[in-house]
Chains A and B, each alone.
Chain A
Amino acid sequence: MRGSHKTLRLTAGIAAVTLFATACGGDDGSSGSEEQGDTMVVQIGDPQHLLPSNTNESEGAAVLQAVYSTLITYDPETNEPVNLIAESIESEDQTTWTITLKEGWTFHNGEPVNAESFVRSWNYAAYGPNAQLNAHFFDRIQGYEEVAPPDPDGEEGPQQAPEPTAETLSGLRVIDELTFEVTLSAPFASFPIMLGYTAFAPMAEECLADVEACERHPIGNGPFMFAEDSEWIPETQARLELVRFEDYGGEPAKLDRLIFQVYDDIVTAYEDFEAGLVDVVRNVDPSLIEQARQDYPDTFINVPIATMGYLAFPTYDPRYADPRLRHAISMAINRQEIIDAIWNGTYEPATSVASSLVAGHREDACGELCEYNPDEARRLLDEIGGFEGTMELWYNAGAGHDQWMEALGNQIREELGIEFELHGELQFAQFLDRREALEMTGPFRSGWIMDYPSLENFLRPLFGTGASTNDTGYSNPEVDALIDMGDQAATLEESIQYYQQAEDIILQDMPMIPLWNYAEALVYSPEFENVIYNPVEQNLDWAQITVA
């Protein structure tokens, strides 16, 4: 048995090495499992970032809304802005805004939340070399061109973008401890509405001194703070433990602890929910929606989110230049049928270019043009003499767009007799590049995630002449003028009227067909009460939740 012994020893040796290596790196079992007080465990996906100026996706935002508070918040019933840290936000001319803060707000580390803290944070976010993903939120503030200069000859040109000539926004001025002034480069009546987005949250001095540390262990001013030993490490399916912030400036949170558990897979999260290990699944997998709706009828929430899906047209291509063709296609699409087949009926068919969550959204804005009407569609197509050739339908690869684009193509072929060809071969970055270069050779998928709950946010960036995300080549001076008038209007109500007039014209021209308003399914444990979903913030109001 000599040989066998040797084999055994060698195997044991390998095992010992493995064990040793394991022992070296692995002391990650230290976080305390004894949970004190009222605790809620919430499912999230792995955040990209946990810094207000750099978080532009939903998972990071969910955590930030518990950890940070902003100047205003939104009423969950009416979606209207309500002051939170702000005492008042006022302007005579819609250009210079004076913001006064309430007293008594502090950061989790004891630093005061004052005028200086806002100016400091906004300057950091806007400064080009900091490469913050939310920098564009600050582009209406005077001096943005100096801190993030545009490229003189466009992206493709040989010249590099010049170095910034200023480090701070000239439009921001501290007046006293609790007052600061914001000067915009042009009047904008909806400015206060923007301020509830986490990009505008104040960041502590300690946070900006070491941004990386502040992402691991955020220092906010919100109702919950990171527990002392809690740390976010990306890609580790981290468990973020938050505790109530006792010195919170607003109404304090009811729960003692709020825990965010990162899941790679939302089906696993739902299994954990069924096992009672997670209390909220923020994003129920489409395959489980029916089951969740039946099993938890009282605590299942199907929520429209402020994201719109469109089919955009290359209006610069003569084949797609006639608005009547675009109307015909819009009326050939049976939106509800696609929604039922692909998203279990959760999405809402679009009736406007804007999400139903914004003030000024009208159920009948699009009217007949967005309704399924194959006869009228065929009549319109005949009127313009039909469509020559094959229609190319473009979308980006690997993002789950294949199915519905094909369904859409089939509907167009069935109702209008137009042959189609699917083009889903481009990756996202390349797809976006081609859209921006106005080189699309057929209708393409588009979408828009709302930044702030204003009708304007669905108009100017997408339809303004030469605007940042206007990839259709659409330009209508009348629309531009109406949006400008809306921006300059004296009141919000008045500005909404101008925006609605602009929307009417856009829908008549229809450079993009509104398809649907996205929705998500959320389910929470019946053990909790006062679970209020805030549609604008697209999150539960963490501070209100209590144990039943």
Chain B
Amino acid sequence: MGRYILKRLLQFIPTVIGSIFLLHYLVVLGIQINGNPARAMFGERTPTPAQLQALAEVFNTSDPCLEQTGNPCLGLFWERVSNLVQGELGVNFQRIPITELISHALPVTLRLAFLAFVLQVVIGLSTGVIAGLRGEGVVDYLVKVSTVLFISVPVFVLGRLVQVYLGVEFGGVFRDSSWAPDWLTALFGVRYTPDHPWASLILPAVVLAALGLATTARLTRTSLMENLRADYVRTAIAKGLPRRRVIGVHALRNSLIPVITDLGYQIGVLMSGAVVTETIFNIPGIGGLVINGVRQQDASVIIPVVTFLVLVYLVINLLVDLLYAVLDPRIRYE
């Protein structure tokens, strides 16, 4: 087990360097093809060359290789990697240290992702199990219909609906009342407020979790139904084992393998894919950071933040693989 983990950790290194290079090359190509972001800052007004040069140096886009389309700018790449290794993330276009930007955005995104993940696991798994056990029952139909609904309604529509009806309309009842405590008004607020870092994230988390929750429920349902018809379950029942044990240990445990794979992948999505939810609810998280970085072609933001997300994906994938062994003793990593 230990050797396996070590091997996997060592594999991280080329993966991370490879993804940094890809990111670097995409940004470099973007600047080579689309023009220097320093120029766009001046708008219609033509800057003097001295002004342009000075701003390009601030933006770290003054390297002459950025004018040769296709040149991978290896010198710049090396500089970036060695800075990253030394933990020097540099500053963005507004000269704000990247570490500071991340330290503000990350806790918020982690809270949001955590809440959404809990919702997804608790509601997704339990409805999935109930639906799977009572195939073709009321709960099953309910799960099927609601999951199709959640999957087909785009996040930005669901987000706005929740914001208008639960935030503006329903929340207004609490804001206008004298009895409602602060946290309740924050819970049904229109946007995230730092004064209530958890309560005001619950509605956004529901919106964010909706899609993944539907997938989790369906996956659990199907997987469980399939396993309930498997030979080993029939054997277990024939042996006279109590129903709870047959379902809880034999069937469910095996059914969870595809679900865990999906949930692991979902954590990454929750962290990076929350851009729309974050925008709608005015949440200052990682998603907004990346999008603004991409808009401004600010490599100093894009590369460290996305690299961090790559690391999150890698670690979660490793955890998922280790969980397989826990769920199914037949899987061994030696």
Residues of A within 8 A of B (CB): 1, 3-4, 6-7, 10-11, 14-15, 18-19, 21-22, 24-26, 28-29, 31, 33, 48-49, 56, 128-131, 133, 135-136, 148-151, 154-155, 160-161, 164, 212, 215, 233-237, 239, 263-265, 267-268, 271-272, 274-277, 426-433, 436, 446-449, 461, 468-469
Tell me if B288 counts as interface (CB < 8 A to partner A): yes
- Please pick, from B35, B46, B190, the residue contacting A429 in the complex, using a CB distance under 8 A: B35
The reply to whether B94 and A234 contact each other, CB–CB distance below 8 Å, is yes
Query: Would A155 and B114 be within 8 Å (CB), given that A28-B194, A131-B58, A236-B104 are in contact?
Result: no
Contact A264 to B282, CB < 8 A, known contacts A18-B110, A161-B53, A447-B44: yes
A277 partner residues in chain B, CB cutoff 8 A:
175, 189-191
Cβ 8 A contact of A275, one of B34, B40, B190: B190
State the main secondary structure of chain A at its contact with B. mixed
Check B48 against A150 for contact (C-beta < 8 Å).
yes
Residue B182 is within 8 A (CB to CB) of chain A in the complex: yes
Measured between alpha carbons, how far is A271 from B40 in the docked complex, in Å? 32
**Given contact pairs A26-B107, A233-B96, A268 touches B33 in the complex (Cβ within 8 A):** no
Least CB distance from A57 to B in Å reads 9
A49 to B41, CA, bound (A): 12
Which residues of the partner chain A approach B284 to less than 8 Å between Cβ atoms? 235-237
Interface membership of B292, Cβ < 8 A:
yes
Task: Give Cα A433–Cα B52 distance, bound, in whole angstroms.
Answer: 12
**Which of B110, B195, B279 is in CB contact (< 8 Å) with A21?**
B110
Complex Cα distance A429/B191, Å? 34
Q: Is the CB of A148 within 8 A of B51?
A: yes
Distance of A219 Cα from B194 Cα, bound (Å) = 25
Chain A residues with CB under 8 A of B118: 15
Chain A residues near B114: list those with CB within 8 A: 15, 18-19, 22
**A233: which B residues are within 8 A, CB to CB?**
96, 100, 104
Determine whether the beta carbon of B172 is less than 8 Å from that of A275.
yes
In the complex, A288 Cα to B46 Cα: how many Å?
A: 35
Contact of A28 among B164, B197, B278, B319 (CB under 8 A): B197
In the complex, chain B residues 7-54 whose Cβ is within 8 Å of any chain A Cβ: 33-54
Q: Complex: how many Å from CA A267 to CA B33?
A: 33
A234-B94, A449-B43 given as contacts; is B105 within 8 A of A7 (CB)? no
Chain A residues with CB under 8 A of B121? 11
* Interfacial chain B residues near A274, Cβ < 8 Å: 168
The smallest C-beta distance from A310 to any residue of chain B, in angstroms, reads 10
Q: CB distance B280 to A265 under 8 Å?
A: yes
Q: CB of B95 within 8 A of chain A?
A: yes
Q: Is the CB of B282 within 8 A of A469?
A: no
Contact yes or no, B40 A161, CB < 8 A: no
B107 to A: closest C-beta gap in Å? 4
CB <8 Å contact, A430 and B34: yes
- In the complex, which residue of chain A has the Cβ closest to the Cβ of B51? A135
Beta-carbon nearest neighbor of A147 in chain B: B50
Q: How far is the CB of B1 from chain A (nearest CB, A)?
A: 14
Tell me if B272 is interfacial: C-beta within 8 Å of chain A. Answer: no
- How many residues on the B side are at the interface (Cβ–Cβ under 8 A)? 78
What 0/1 readout, one digit per residue, does chain B (270-300) give for beta carbons within 8 Å of chain A? 0000000011111110001100100000000
Q: Which residues of B contact A271 (CB under 8 A)?
A: 163-164, 167-168, 190-191
Q: Chain B 54-91 against A: per-residue CB contact (8 Å), 1 yes, 0 no? A: 11011000000000000000000000000000000000
Known contacts A275-B168, A436-B46: A428-B35 contact under CB 8 Å? yes
Asked if A33 and B195 sit within 8 Å, CB to CB, the answer is yes
Which residues from chain A contact B46 at a C-beta distance below 8 Å?
A: 432, 436, 468-469
Complex: how many Å from CA A24 to CA B106? 10
Given A235-B288, A275-B172, A468-B46, decide whether A25 and B106 contact each other with a Cβ distance below 8 A: yes
Q: Which of B48, B289, B319 has most A Cβ within 10 Å?
A: B48
Chain A residues in 8 Å Cβ range of B327:
3, 7
Q: Which of A7, A56, A160, A271 has the most CB of B within 10 A?
A: A271
When distances are taken between beta carbons in the complex, the residues of chain B under 8 Å from A431 are 35
Which residues from B are CB-within-8-Å of A22?
A: 107, 110-111, 114
- B323–A469 CB distance below 8 A: no
- Min CB distance B96 to A, Å, is 6
- CB-CB < 8 A to B189: which residues of A? 275, 277
Task: Output the least CB separation between A271 and chain B (Å).
Answer: 5
Cross-chain contact B164 with A128 (CB below 8 angstroms): no
Which B residues are CB-close (under 8 A) to A135?
51
Smallest CB separation, B254 vs chain A (Å): 10
B262 to chain A, nearest CB (A): 15
Return A98 CB to nearest CB of chain B, in Å: 29
Contact B55 A7 (CB under 8 A): no
Q: Which residues of B contact A265 (CB under 8 A)?
A: 279-280, 282
Asked if B135 CB lies within 8 Å of chain A CBs, one says no
Question: Do A161 and B49 touch across chains, with their CB atoms under 8 A apart?
Answer: yes
Given contacts A29-B195, A33-B182, A277-B189, 11 further A-B contacts (CB under 8 A): A7-B323, A31-B194, A128-B51, A133-B41, A151-B50, A233-B96, A235-B96, A236-B105, A237-B284, A271-B190, A276-B175
CA distance A433 to B41 in the complex (A): 13
Closest A residue by C-beta to B111: A22
Given A128-B54, A268-B163, are A428 and B288 neighbors across the interface (CB < 8 Å)? no
CB distance from A18 to the nearest CB of B (A): 5
5 smallest beta-carbon distances between A and B, as pairs: A429-B35, A131-B54, A427-B34, A151-B49, A430-B35
Q: How far, in angstroms, from A430 to B323 measured CA to CA in the complex? A: 50
Nearest neighbor of A155 in chain B, beta-carbon distance:
B49
Measured between beta carbons, the chain A residues less than 8 angstroms from B47 are 136
